[in-house]
Amino acid sequence: MSKIRIGLDLYGGDNAPESTIQGAIFAFENKFLEDAELVIVGETTEEDKKKLQKYNVSYLEGKNLVDNTTKPTQILKLKESSIYIGCQNMKNSNLNAFVSAGNTGALLTAGTFVAGRLKGIKRPALALALPGKNGKPRILVDAGANAEVKAEHYFDFAREGIAYAKFLGIENPRVGIINIGTEEEKGPQLVKEAAEVLKENNINYIGFVEAREIFDDRFDVLLTDGFTGNNILKTIEGTAYYILNELKSSIKSGGLFTKLGALMMKGSLYSLKGKIDYRQYGGTFFLGVNGHLVKAHGSSDSEAIANALYVAYKASKEDLLSNILI
């Protein structure tokens, strides 16, 4: 396979398939995919195909069989579903990457068991780039794939996170384990054992990190179990929304001066909103499987889909996965 081929799930996500098609157009118009071929997996209508005919797009048949009620393991029987087909084509090396905004559990299961795990990796995990001080991103692994983990899995998470960090241009990424204190004796047995596992391996392991430091510049890769990671992620989201809403309502209930002030600050307030919206980073990698599997947010609009495609393309071009097995 010489040409890069990026798969895109036509289905899944609150705004699909419109957002998928529009996202593809947005990606091509903005040259996000450069010389790559986009492969839309679904039952694309002739009308939509017409919209895309001037771009480098091909099609794979895949059915719309998965929704929010689909249980993770069910996907293994839905062999005609777009998610299954997408993952299968990564396994066959027919696709370098696959982007989907669909059911997370189903996608991760298909990633693990249809695309299959990379040799040497027991636990693929969701790796997410968060904004950080100085404009530098930091990577959170596992952001929600593995609700129950063992200490040894932190070594997988570390390699996955490091690969992602390197892909984002961070040399020799500093790795920390999220804990409720930075002292070695703090926290549950699991994280203490995980720290030992990392120390035994050739990793730039710095120590424990408290969640309040997530946005600071002391660590590049933050490791935790999928339960905690997902809670942290959703807490960031909930807090950011709460703060922006409080600000909005205080502007609304404020006097003319406040309203005028807000208007004058509009640019700053918008750029703030952009900075804390991690979704603009364009998707989360499910790392550790055969292929660059990108989970786009369920509420992705066309721009978010285009960003996810961009990330998938860049990861494929630079072969992010080759960094995992160190």
Q: Which residues bind a second copy (CB under 8 A)?
A: 71, 133, 144, 147-148, 178, 180, 185, 187-189, 210-216, 224, 226-228, 230-243, 245-247, 250-251, 254, 257-258, 260-269, 271-272, 275-276
- Write the single-letter amino acid at 250: S
Closest approach of a second copy to the CB of residue 186, in Å: 8
CA 157, distance to chain mean position in Å, is: 14
Cis omega (within 30 of 0) for bond into 173:
no
Q: Using the minimum distance from each CB to a second copy, give the nearer residue, 40 or 191.
A: 191
Shortest Cβ distance from residue 210 to a second copy (Å)? 5
Strand, helix or coil at 154? helix
Cβ-based neighbour number of residue 197 at 10 Å: 18
CA dihedral 276, 280, 286, 291 (to 10 degrees): -160
Smallest separation, CB 262 to a second copy (Å): 6
85 contact partners, CB below 8 Å, separation of at least 6:
41, 60, 61, 62, 79
Q: Rounded to whole angstroms, how far apart are CA atoms 127 and 110? A: 17
39/222 with CB nearer a second copy: 222
* CA 163 – CA 111 distance, rounded (Å): 18
Minimal distance in Å, beta carbon 58 to a second copy?
A: 35
Q: What is the DSSP string of 64-90?
A: ----TT--GGGGGG-TTBHHHHHHHHH
CB of 289 to a second copy, least distance (A): 20
Closest CA to 156 of 211, 188, 203: 203
Q: How far is CA 170 from CA 124, 166, 291, in A?
A: 21, 5, 22
Our CB check for a second copy shows the closer of 1 and 264 to be: 264
Q: Which is nearer to a second copy, 49 or 186 (CB)?
A: 186
CB of 264 to a second copy, least distance (A): 3
Q: Residue 77 or residue 252: which is nearer to a second copy going by CB?
A: 252
Minimum CB separation of residue 133 from a second copy in Å reads 7
CA nearest 207: which of 29, 199, 255, 291? 199
Residue 40 or 233 with smaller CB distance to a second copy: 233
**Which of 47, 148 has the CB closer to a second copy?**
148
CA–CA dist 84, 106 (Å, integer): 9
